[in-house]
Chains A and B, each alone.
Chain A
Amino acid sequence: MSQSVESRTRIKSERYESGVIPYAKMGYWDADYVIKETDILALFRITPQPGVDPIEASAAIAGESSTATWTVVWTDLLTACDLYRAKAYRVDPVPNVADQYFAYIAYDIDLFEEGSIANLTASIIGNVFGFKAVKALRLEDMRMPVAYLKTFQGPATGLIVERERMDKFGRPFLGATVKPKLGLSGKNYGRVVYEGLKGGLDFLKDDENINSQPFMRWRERFLYSMEGVNKASASAGEIKGHYLNVTAATMEDMYERAEFSKEVGSIICMIDLVIGYTAIQSMAIWARKHDMILHLHRAGNSTYSRQKNHGMNFRVICKWMRMAGVDHIHAGTVVGKLEGDPLMIKGFYNTLLESDTDINLPQGLFFAQNWASLRKVVPVASGGIHAGQMHQLLDYLGDDVVLQFGGGTIGHPDGIQAGATANRVALESMVMARNEGRNYVAEGPQILRDAAKTCGPLQTALDLWKDISFNYTSTDTADFVETPTANI
């Protein structure tokens, strides 16, 4: 005669009776949890399935992103299991939205391998995102403890050292992406690099999808681009660079391309976000070792960062990439053609540039963060911006940014050099006006018109692009304040 499950069990604790019990009761919810200084904290936006209690859903997220499986396992008892259980400790309704909650979860530092973004993310954005009890899930923010940050290299170069190497202070860097993205031969490609730099830019840039295609293999691109860089540098007496994209199919290929970029004398090379966290960390270590600035193009991020209810917020990518060790990352323009609410963008920039940030809910910063002296990542503003917006760009983005005008340089009717010069003159005149204490945001258009009196290319740019703006409401906006993207 078969016995019941209850009578067969040898474990005399309700918690470990075989079967399925609520996650909250399994030890993944603790409203009185006292956060340890060394805990890793995460904030998720959860949309529970109809009828699922938000606390239970939060506990389930804590469980599924740490030790839990769907049923009770006795092998827990072989471990100091309470330590390894993440704890959901606070659940707040999302302001002005029905059925969405912010769940705060704490993880003990020993849940994660030192210095490994891959290990961190395998837990935090692993299986849990497919979990059926929630309709949608979004990772909004994380707090990294100092003890954990100290196991990461951080940016290979960092803002301060990059400025010293580039000998450029007190103004944003200026760049442009070579266009068309695809199809140019090596020789024609290098022409664009030369013209843009000669006109006054600090950097030209490969686009994310220029690797080594039939129309131009990578060595051709590297050799001709460096001719352009050096020729322009000699004509201006300034240090200039071109981000050579070393993204490739395998790590071996990337190292080969990176080594060659160094051999040809480049000061900066570039990778795409799609190469993956481990490859990014490897390249950051390589870059530190070889005095190379490392630019990261965030190719692919909008696949999971743009929609508000599911995926992850870009500010978390910013945090991970500062830990992983890149020197540049595209982080939004506010006024350009790509997604970007002003407050959200400010939060991204502060995450990349500050040594210490406080809680700032309108900017989406849910935790205070001490960056443990990790260097600063330079945000890159790229996509649909032009000289006529210079006052807004300086106001929203400040000095510590690379302003990257692709179409806004190469699309200039008088040529690429003229386009570059227009941007440089617009930038310098705006920085000067700001320093002079003028109300440069309000007077911006007049400041530009005045500067154009001694710079024909700027006048042409202002005339051509005066009506260009991208006034769409962003999808990823602050939950605590709504702001339209002003763009006038």
Chain B
Amino acid sequence: MRLTQGAFSFLPDLTDEQINKQLAYIVSKGLSANVEYTDDPHPRNSYWELWGLPLFDVKDASAVMYEISSCRKAKPNYYVKVNAFDNTRGIESCVMSFIVNRPANEPGFLLQRQDFEGRTMKYSLHSYATEKPEGARY
């Protein structure tokens, strides 16, 4: 399967040139950027690991690209994403997020069903990859 979280997952994987243009957009909007990685891509996993602190007041897209490259090099078989934050009053949240690295093989999720009364069903998603311990999943 292909994990389709993030803004551009239905398009072919972004080239570095394409990533650079998105980073330039983040910088031009005065947003801060951060890089996160995980090997537990459950959609409710809100806290991917931070690759260092977010880059605040970043003036140059290449600074973000440098962090992406370092993260990819250290975690080649992890999902890596870039987030942009807007601290404007009334937003104060993530305003952009896209995947820049994914493992070679993505086994996906099992939908577990538990029958309940009155034909209701309790559903839960189980990530196949998490059957192995953290760090040895992909």
Contact B119 A160 (CB under 8 A): no
Q: Taking CB as reference atom, which chain A residue is nearest B8?
A: A428
Which residues of chain B come closer than 8 Å to A373, judged between CB atoms?
A: 90
Which candidate, A146-154, A165-173, A382-390, is the interface stretch facing chain B?
A165-173
B-chain residues with CB within 8 Å of residue A169 when the two chains form the complex: 7, 83-84, 93-97
Residues of A212-266 at the interface with B, using a CB-CB cut-off of 8 Å, are 223, 226-227, 230-231, 233-239, 263-265
A454 to B92, CA, bound (A): 36
B108–A235 CB distance below 8 A:
yes
A313 CB-CB contact with B under 8 Å: no
A454 with B43: CB separation less than 8 A: no
Let me know if B11 and A170 touch, CB within 8 A. no
Interface residues on B, range: 35 or more
Tell me the bound Cα distance from A179 to B108 in angstroms. Answer: 30
Contacts of A421 in B (CB 8 A): 10
> How many contacting A-B pairs (Cβ < 8 A)?
112
Supposing A239-B44, A432-B18 touch, asked if A167 and B111 sit within 8 A by C-beta, the answer is no
Q: Which of B7, B44, B89 contacts A355 (CB 8 A)?
A: B89
The answer, yes or no, to whether A14 is at the interface (CB within 8 Å) is no
**Is A435 a contact partner of B21 (Cβ separation < 8 A)?**
yes
> B residues 1-44 with Cβ under 8 Å of A?
1, 3-5, 7-12, 18, 21-22, 24-25, 41-44
For B79-107 the 0/1 string (1 means CB < 8 A from A) is 00001100001111111111000000000
Main secondary structure of the interface of A (DSSP, over half): helix
A234 partner, pick from B21, B96, B120, B125, beta carbons under 8 A = B125
Binding site for A on B (CB under 8 A): 1, 3-5, 7-12, 18, 21-22, 24-25, 41-44, 46, 83-84, 89-98, 108-111, 119-123, 125, 127
B43 in complex: contacting residue of A163, A239, A429, A455, CB < 8 Å: A239
A residues in contact (CB < 8 Å) with B: 160, 163-164, 167-171, 200, 223, 226-227, 230-231, 233-239, 263-265, 355, 373, 376, 421, 424-425, 428-429, 431-432, 435-437, 451, 454-455
The CA-CA distance from A227 to B119 in the complex, in Å, is: 11
Known: A167-B43, A170-B95, A435-B22. A223 touches B10 (CB 8 A): no
CA distance A429 to B14 in the complex (A): 11
Q: In the complex, what distance in Å separates the CA atom of A171 from the CA atom of B8?
A: 9
Q: Establish whether residues B21 and A170, one from each chain, have CB atoms under 8 Å apart when the complex forms.
A: no
- Pair B11/A451 contact, Cβ less than 8 Å: yes
- Chain B residue numbers with a CB within 8 Å of A355 are 89-90
User: Cβ of A168: which chain B residues have Cβ within 8 Å of it?
Assistant: 7
For the complex of A and B, the 5 pairs showing the least CB-CB separation, nearest first, are: A170-B96, A234-B111, A355-B90, A230-B123, A435-B25
